Amino acid sequence: MKAVAALLLVGMLLLWAELPTGSVSSCPPVPFTCDQPNPPNACRSDLDCPRGKKCCQTFCGKRCL
């Protein structure tokens, strides 16, 4: 019985460790932007970012977060 409980606990911990942090559908708010007219962007959409990251507007340009 203890072995089953231990295996369930380990399984739950493994699943929890794989969950992405933060909300998948939102980017952090940007209170202000830079003065550069066309800031460089590291991405154009979420498809340009590694798995689990989003293309978000930052202080100066877009970045994968």
Averaged pLDDT, groups of 10, the chain, 65 residues long: 63 56 74 89 97 94 96
Structural domain includes residue 41: yes
pLDDT at position 12, please?
A: 61
Structural domain includes residue 50: yes
Domain count, the chain: 1
Structural domain includes residue 54: yes
Structural domain includes residue 56: yes
Residue 55 CB contacts under 8 Å (≥ 6 apart), including other chains? 43, 44, 45, 46, 48, 49, 62, 63, 64
Could you tell me which of 44, 52, 42 has the C-alpha nearest to residue 22?
52
Q: In whole angstroms, give the CA distance from residue 39 to residue 1.
A: 60
Structural domain includes residue 2: no
CATH classification of the domain holding 39: 4.10.75.10
Structural domain includes residue 11: no
pLDDT at position 2, please?
A: 78
